[in-house]
Structure 1
Amino acid sequence: MNAHDTSIDLIAYFERIGFGGPARPAPTLDTLRALHLLHPQAIPFENLDVLLGRPVRLDRESIQRKLVTSRRGGYCYEHNLLFRSVLETLGFRVRSFAGRVLWGREASEMPARMHMLLLVDVDEGTFLTDVGFGGMTLSAPLALQTGLEQITPHGAFRLDDAGGEPHGYILKALVNGAWTSVYRFDLDPQYDADYEMANHFVSTWPQSIFVHNLLAARLAPGKRYGLFNRRFSAHDEHEGSAHRELGDAADLRRVLENELGIRLPDSADLDAALARLP
C-alpha cells in the first residue's frame, strides 16, 4: 500500500460504520475517537477465509472490497490497514508497528511480533490506535503514556513500561478486577512487507491458531461478543459475562450472521468447515 494513494472510498466506509459527521472530517482527536468507536462495532473480527483455506490479501482494493463492500470482517492486518488508509486519507499522521500477543499466554512466553497496531499523532499527543484485536479490541485510542488508567467505552486499559527494551510498552486490560496483559510492543517501525510476511505465516502455518479454529468478535454499545470455535461469549458491562456452546453449522451460521454481523461468504465448503470445528 502506498501511503499517498487516496483511493479509499470514504463515503462507503462512513456508511459501513455509521458515521454521520461531515464528508471529510478534520484530522483531530475528536474525529479519531469517533471513528475508533464506530469501526469495531460495525466491522467484525473474523478469520473465515483462513479457515476455508483462502488467501488473505492485504492490498487496499481487496481489503476495502471485503470489509466494506462485501460487509465481511477480517483480522488485525485487514482492520488496521483499512483504518490506516482512512486516517491517512483524512490527513492524520499514522505510524505502523507490531506487537507480541500476550493474551492467553504464560507470563514467561515471548512470542513473535505478529500483531499490527498503529500510533496516531494529533495536537494532543501520540495515541495507540488498534481496531483489530478480536474480543479485546479497543473502542477508543489510548494516550501513549505509561501508568495511566484510561477508561474507554468498553473497559479500562493502561500502558506499562515493558522494561528491558527501549521504548517498550505492555498494553493491559482490567478484567474481573485484575490487570491482564494483552500485548507488548516497541517503536521499531514496521513496513507493509513486514505485514505481508507475518500475514502469510499466521494464515498458513499449521500450528497457527487461525488455521484450524474459528475466531470472531464484535463490539456493541456496552457489550463484547466473541466466538472461539463453538463457544460463544457475550459480555455486558452491567450484566456480566455469559457463555454457551453452539451446536451444528446452522447454529454457528445464525450467530455469525446475527450477533457478529458477518455477511457469510458464498462457499460450498463453509458448512463442512464449521462442522469440523472442535
Structure 2
Amino acid sequence: MWSGDELDLGAYLARIGLGEGSGAVGELRPDLPTLYAVHRAHTAAITFESLDVLLGRPVALDVPSIEEKLVHGRRGGYCYEQNSLLAAALERIGFEVTGRGARNRTRGDALLAVTHAVLVVTVDGEEWLCDAGFGHQGPCEPVSLARPGADVEQGKWTYRIREEADGVLALSMLRGETWRDLYAFSPQRYHPVDYVVLNHYSSGHPRSSFVGRVVVQRPGDDVRRALVGRELTTLHPDGSTERRLVEPDDLLTVLDREFGLRLPDRDAAELVGMYRAGD
C-alpha cells in the first residue's frame, strides 16, 4: 500500500535520530513502544514546511522522491509528504497502516474541503491516530481512537478525540482553558492515490493556504512555532502566544535557528527574493 519496500529504512531512522547505536529504541517491532518512538522522533526531527509550493517546485509523493528530499536532503514537507514517509516506514516495520482524509477546523466556522492527510495505525486490534503533518499544533505522539472523550496528555500539551455523528472523529487541542478543534475525519479509508489528488489542489490551486506564502511550522515540548507569511508565532502550553514580523534579511536565520531548516543556496536566494518582493 505505502511502498515501504522502496524506503531505505536505515537512512530514515538515522534522519530521525533512531539509527543504529542511538540507544533511543530497541529492536523495531510492530508494537506500541516502537510506534510511540518513531512518531515522536519523526515530528521532532522533520520540520513541517511547504516552501516548494511557494517556489513553484513540483511536490512528488512517490517514496524515492520523498526520501531524497526529507531524508537525504534534510528538508521538511507538508502533510502528504510527511505522512506518506511515516506510513512507508511503519509499513516496512510491520504495522498495519491506513489513510484518512481530514477537514481542517482551525479557521472558525468556515467549512473547508477535505485536504489534510492523516494515518490510522492498528496495534493489537486498537486503532491509533498518527499524524506527523499538521504543523505546530499537531500531536507529537499517537492518539488512541478507542477512548473518545479522554484527555491525552503529551508532555505539556493535551489533546482529545471527540466522536460526532456518522462515525466522524474530531481531534481537539487544549489552548489555555479552551478546547479548540484541529480537524475531523470520517471512517472512509484513503489510499496514496487519493493523496495525489489532494496534493494537486494544495500545491497549485489559488485558494490553497500554501500557495503564495511561506508556511513553516514545528511542534515542540515547551513551545510551538509557526512562520506563516511574515508573522512568526510562538505558542505556549497555557494558550498564550507571541507574534513578531520577520524581515527579509532575517528569514534564513529564523528558518535555521527556529526550525532547523537550511535550504540549498539557489533555493535560499530565490526564497529571500520572493519574500522581499512581497514588501
User: Which stretch shifts more, 121-130 or 203-212?
Assistant: 121-130
Shift of 1:226: 1.1
The residue number in structure 2 matching 1:18 is 17
Instruction: Tell me the TM-score normalized by structure 1.
Output: 0.92
RMSD: 1.9
Indicate the residue corresponding to 1:170 in structure 2: 170
Matched, 1:55 2:54: no
Task: Show the counterpart of 1:71.
Answer: 74
Alpha-carbon distance in structure 1 between the residues aligned to 2:234 and 2:257: 13
Deviation at 1:236, TM superposition (A): 4.2
| Structure 2 match to 1:187 | 187
Residue equivalent to 1:156: 158
3-state SS in 1 of match to 2:200: helix
1:218-269 superposed Cα distances (whole Å, 9 cap, x missing partner)? 1233221211111112234489532221112x20111112210112143242
User: 2:277 aligned with 1:271, yes or no?
Assistant: no
The answer (yes or no) to whether the contact 1:40–1:137 under 8 Å persists in 2 is: no
Q: Which residue of 2 aligns with 1:8?
A: 7
Alpha-carbon separation, structure 2, partners of 1:154 and 1:110: 30
Cα contact 2:4–2:91 (8 A) shared by 1? no
Out of 14, 26, 32, the residue aligned to residue 35 of structure 2 is 32
Contact 2:30/2:95, CA 8 A, preserved across alignment:
yes
- Once the 2 structures are TM-superposed, how far is the Cα of residue 86 of structure 1 from its aligned partner? 0.4
Q: Go from structure 1 to structure 2 and tell me whether the alpha carbon gap of 1:4 and 1:275 turns closer, same or farther (over 3 Å shift).
A: closer
| Number of equivalent positions | 272
Distance 1:23 1:147 in 2: 32
Corresponding residue for 2:247? 247
Q: Per-residue displacement from partner, 1:42-78 (whole Å, max 9, x unpaired)?
A: 1000011000111100000010111111010000000
Asked whether the equivalents of residues 16 and 46 of structure 2 are also in contact (C-alpha less than 8 Å), the reply is: yes
Would the aligned equivalents of 1:214 and 1:277 in 2 still touch at CA under 8 Å? no
Partner of 2:44 in structure 1? 41
| CA distance, structure 2, for counterparts of residue 237 and residue 110 of structure 1 | 27
Tell me the residue number matched to 2:116: 115
Q: Cα 1:274–1:23, aligned 2, differ >3 Å: closer, same or farther?
A: farther
Structure 2 length-normalised TM: 0.92
Matches within 5 A, 1:222-237: 222-237=222-237
SS at match of 1:210: coil
Q: Supply the AA of the counterpart residue of 1:123.
A: D
Greater helix share, 1 or 2?
2
Do the aligned partners of residues 239 and 119 (structure 1) sit closer, same or farther apart at CA in structure 2, a change above 3 Å counting? Answer: closer
Deviations 1:117-148 (A, max 9, x none): 00111126111000100121211111102111
Residues 1:119 and 1:28: Cα distance change in structure 2 (over 3 Å): same
2:111 & 2:229 partners in 1: Cα distance? 25
Is the contact between residue 213 and residue 277 of structure 1 (CA under 8 Å) also seen in structure 2?
Answer: no
User: What's 1:90 paired with?
Assistant: 93
Instruction: Give the unaligned 5+ runs of structure 1.
Output: none
TM superposition shift of 1:202: 1.0
2:255 maps to 256
The answer to whether the 8 Å contact 2:2/2:84 transfers is no
In 1, are the aligned partners of 2:176 and 2:239 still within 8 Å (CA)? Answer: no
- The whole-number CA distance in structure 2 between the counterparts of 1:233 and 1:135 is 10
| SS of the residue 2:211 aligns to | helix
> What is the percent sequence identity of the aligned residues?
35
- Paired letter, 1:136: Q
Q: Residues of 2 paired with 1:196 and 1:48: CA distance?
A: 18
Looking at structure 2, the residues matched to 118 and 239 of structure 1 have their Cα atoms a distance apart, in angstroms, of 27
**SS state of the match for residue 258, structure 2?**
coil
